[in-house]
C-alpha cells in the first residue's frame, strides 16, 4: 500500500519536470510565458525557440509520462494504481507545485501515459489529431478532439474501467486547460501551427 502511494507521488514528481522550461533556461532564459500562447508546452516551445526545441520538449514531456507508467507496470501494480499513476503524471505537468501550480496543457504527457495503457484507443485518437492538424492546422483543436476521443475509444475497445476512468479525467483536464484556445477558435483568432 505504501509503495503504491510512493509510486503515485513519484509520478506526480515526474510530471512536474517541464522540458519546455528547461530548454528555455538553456537557451538563455527565453520567457515562454511572455511569448505566443504563454504556455510551457511543445507547441509554444516550437513557436518561441524553433521546431527542433519543440520536438525535444514534446519527447521529454511524453517520456516522463511513459516512464512513470512503465515503473508502475514493472512494479506489478494493480490496474487501479497504474491508472492513478497515469493521472498523477498528467496532474504534475498541469499543476507543478514549484510554479504556483501553473503548468502546461498536458497533451504530450497524456500521450506518454496512454502509450502503454491504452495503445489502440491512442492510435484512433492520434489519427483524428493528425487529420485535424493537416486539414485545419490547429494543434489545439486536434489536441482537444483527441483527448475527448480517448475515453470513448477506451469503452469501444473494452479497456479496463480504471484506465477508461483515468482517460476521462485526463480528457476533462485537457479540455479545461484549453478553454482559452476554445474561445479563440470560436472567435477565429487561434494561431495556426503552419
Give pLDDT tens digits for 142-154.
999 999 999 999 9
Q: For 13-67, how does the pLDDT look when each residue is reduced to its tens digit (9 = 90+)?
A: 999 999 998 998 888 777 787 777 778 888 889 888 889 999 999 999 999 999 9
User: For position 37, what pLDDT does the model report?
Assistant: 73
pLDDT of 165 strictly over 80: yes
Q: What pLDDT is recorded for position 33?
A: 76
- Residue range 158-179: mean pLDDT, rounded: 98
* SS3 sequence of the chain: CHHHHHHHHHHHHHHHCCHHHHHHHHCCCCCHHHCCCCCCCHHHHHHHHCHHHHHHHHHHHHHHHHHHHHHHHHHCCCHHHHHHHHHHHHHHHHCCHHHCCCCCCCHHHHHHHHHHHCHHHHHHHHHHHHHHHHHHCCHHHHHHHHHHHHHHHHHHCCCCHHHHHHHHHHHHHHHHHCHHHHHHHHHCCCCCCC
* Of 98 and 124, more confident: 124
Give the global pTM. 0.94
Q: Report the pLDDT value the prediction gives residue 111, as an integer from 0 to 100.
A: 98
pLDDT attached to residue 194? 67
List pLDDT tens digits, range 170-191: 999 999 999 999 999 999 999 8
pLDDT tier, 100 (very low <50, low <70, confident <90, very high otherwise): confident
Amino acid at each position: 500500500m505504501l509503495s503504491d502511494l510512493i509510486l503515485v507521488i513519484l509520478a506526480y514528481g515526474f510530471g512536474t519536470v517541464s522540458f519546455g522550461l528547461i530548454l528555455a533556461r538553456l537557451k538563455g532564459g527565453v520567457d515562454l510565458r511572455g511569448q505566443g500562447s504563454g504556455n510551457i508546452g511543445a507547441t509554444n516551445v516550437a513557436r518561441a525557440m524553433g521546431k527542433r526545441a519543440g520536438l525535444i520538449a514534446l519527447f521529454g514531456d511524453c517520456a516522463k509520462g511513459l516512464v512513470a507508467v512503465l515503473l508502475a507496470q514493472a512494479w506489478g501494480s494493480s490496474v487501479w494504481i497504474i491508472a492513478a499513476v497515469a493521472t498523477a503524471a498528467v496532474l504534475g505537468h498541469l499543476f507543478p507545485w514549484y510554479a504556483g501550480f501553473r503548468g502546461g496543457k498536458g497533451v504530450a504527457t497524456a500521450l506518454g501515459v496512454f502509450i502503454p495503457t491504452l495503445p489502440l484507443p491512442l492510435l484512433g485518437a492520434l489519427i483524428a489529431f493528425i487529420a485535424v492538424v493537416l486539414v485545419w492546422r490547429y494543434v489545439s483543436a486536434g489536441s482537444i478532439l483527441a483527448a475527448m476521443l480517448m475515453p470513448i475509444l477506451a469503452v469501444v475497445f473494452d479497456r479496463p474501467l480504471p484506465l477508461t476512468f483515468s482517460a476521462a479525467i485526463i480528457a476533462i483536464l485537457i479540455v479545461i486547460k484549453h478553454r482559452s484556445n476554445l474561445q479563440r477558435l470560436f472567435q477565429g483568432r487561434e494561431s495556426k501551427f503552419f
